[in-house]
């Protein structure tokens, strides 16, 4: 492993936000043995480790990362017919997420189509419990296999043990930070129905007169919507949606609706909480479009997205995020939370 380790590797080109100083140590994991060797290395050196996929949901600090950045590239996808109505799709952490979704759609398997065109690797999907257009990844995950850095062993967690919630999982908390995801098993179905109840999807299907879209049409619809609303990573540095939609109590929602009766909202979970549209608040209450600090700006077509016109200016990303957070708090009393993680030294 040590002969594969590089020193002072720039990270800005390895993240979609295009920011970040160098990694003190850097290596690529193409096998589980590479992961084990990397963990042994950091334990010997007594330094931190950070597992990097496509870098699509992090903001890496300008001063870089003081330990080892391990880029996950373990490949592999397999499909297993469990029953006539159920197929298990097993994907290794280093696979491109959208390429994996495309494979499931080509096989006629329903369950992940509304999560099309989300950037990143498959290994990142459970960490964030990625979701879009009325679907969350936790709905189809059966189990997650990982390498435990404390016990130096490979183990699994069931869906329930992953403790999924809105854009959250055990892997983002102290009890899960020592777990490196290796592969994920999804439970998919060959005979499904399109999920078109989400507002943007409903508008698209009505406009194009698609009453009962096929599986492949659903993927095309989601890709078209995402392309129309979110910045192109080939053109700008971005992580896509930068903030989570707030989930508030019903009483807080009623209070906000008195002030802002047009605010989009819907019941969440058991119905005791309400998810509200942060994009609407940023647009109509906080007037965030056009806001900019240095090379970092709010995207003109989607106020949830921040875009980077330059490089290596993570401090400006954090500064603009903090300004928006403070403005939302001032106008609504809501505390909003960024979707990406801030990593390394700023």
Q: In this predicted model, what pLDDT tens digit does every residue of 264-277 receive, in sequence order?
A: 999 988 878 999 99
- Do 82 and 175 lie in one domain? The reply is yes
Final residue in a domain of this structure, among 156, 188, 220? 188
User: Would residue 84 be called left, alpha or beta, if left means φ above 0 and alpha means ψ between -120 and 50 degrees?
Assistant: alpha
- Do 130 and 184 lie in one domain? The reply is yes
pLDDT for residue 155 is more than 90: yes
* pLDDT at residue number 270: 81
CB neighbours (10 Å) of residue 217? 15
Query: Is 132 domain-assigned?
Result: yes
Query: Is 253 domain-assigned?
Result: no
pLDDT for residue 2 is more than 60: no
- Do 107 and 174 lie in one domain? The reply is yes
- Do 56 and 124 lie in one domain? The reply is no
| Burial per residue of 85-123, b for 16 or more beta-carbon CB atoms within 10 angstroms, e otherwise | eebbbbbbbbbbbbebbbbbbeeebbbbbbbbbbbbbbb
Is residue 107 part of the annotated active site? The answer reads: no
73 vs 65: CA distance, rounded Å: 19
- Do 114 and 175 lie in one domain? The reply is yes
pLDDT for residue 311 is more than 80: no
78's tokens: 């397999």
Instruction: Give pTM, 2 decimals.
Output: 0.93
Q: In this predicted model, what pLDDT tens digit does every residue of 270-300 receive, in sequence order?
A: 878 999 999 999 999 999 988 999 999 999 9
* pLDDT at residue number 269: 82
* pLDDT at residue number 15: 96
- Domain total of the chain: 3
Final residue in a domain of this structure, among 51, 72, 93? 72
Q: In this predicted model, what pLDDT tens digit does every residue of 318-340 receive, in sequence order?
A: 999 999 999 999 999 999 999 99
Is residue 167 part of the annotated active site? The answer reads: yes
Final residue in a domain of this structure, among 207, 229, 251? 229
Is residue 339 part of the annotated active site? The answer reads: yes
* CATH (domain of 101): 3.30.465.10
Catalytic residue (one of 138, 167, 219, 226): 167
Which residue range is the domain that position 211 belongs to? 199-229
Catalytic residue (one of 113, 241, 312, 316): 241
């Amino acid at each position: 492993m040590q002969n594969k380790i590089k020193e002072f590797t720039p990270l800005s080109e390895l993240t979609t936000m295009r920011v970040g100083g160098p990694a003190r140590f850097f290596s690529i994991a193409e096998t589980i043995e590479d992961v084990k060797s990397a963990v042994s290395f950091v334990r010997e050196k007594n330094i931190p480790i950070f597992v990097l996929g496509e870098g699509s949901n992090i903001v890496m600090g300008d001063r870089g990362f003081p330990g080892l950045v391990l880029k996950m590239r373990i490949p592999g996808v397999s499909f297993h017919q469990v029953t006539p109505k159920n197929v298990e799709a097993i994907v290794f952490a280093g696979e491109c997420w959208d390429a994996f979704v495309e494979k499931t759609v080509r096989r006629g398997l329903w369950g992940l189509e509304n999560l099309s065109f989300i950037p990143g690797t498959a290994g990142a999907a459970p960490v964030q419990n990625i979701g879009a257009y009325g679907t969350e990844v936790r709905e189809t995950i059966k189990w997650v296999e990982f390498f435990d850095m404390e016990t130096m062993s490979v183990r699994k967690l069931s869906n329930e043990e992953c403790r999924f919630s809105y854009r959250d999982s055990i892997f983002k908390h102290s009890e899960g930070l020592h777990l490196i995801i290796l592969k994920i098993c999804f439970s998919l179905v060959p005979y499904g129905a399109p999920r078109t109840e989400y507002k943007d999807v409903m508008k698209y299907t009505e406009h194009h007169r698609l009453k009962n879209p096929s599986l492949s049409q659903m993927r095309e619809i989601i890709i078209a919507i995402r392309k129309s609303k979110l910045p192109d990573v080939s053109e700008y540095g971005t992580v896509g949606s930068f903030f989570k939609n707030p989930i508030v109590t019903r009483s807080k929602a009623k209070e906000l609706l008195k002030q802002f009766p047009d605010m989009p909202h819907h019941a969440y979970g058991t119905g005791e909480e309400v998810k509200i549209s942060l994009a609407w608040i940023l647009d109509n209450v906080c007037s965030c479009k056009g806001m900019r600090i240095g090379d970092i700006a709010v995207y003109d077509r989607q106020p949830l997205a921040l875009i980077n016109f330059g490089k290596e200016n993570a401090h400006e990303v954090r500064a603009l995020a903090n300004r928006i957070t403070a403005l939302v708090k001032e106008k609504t009393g809501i505390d909003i939370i960024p979707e990406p993680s801030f990593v390394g030294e700023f």
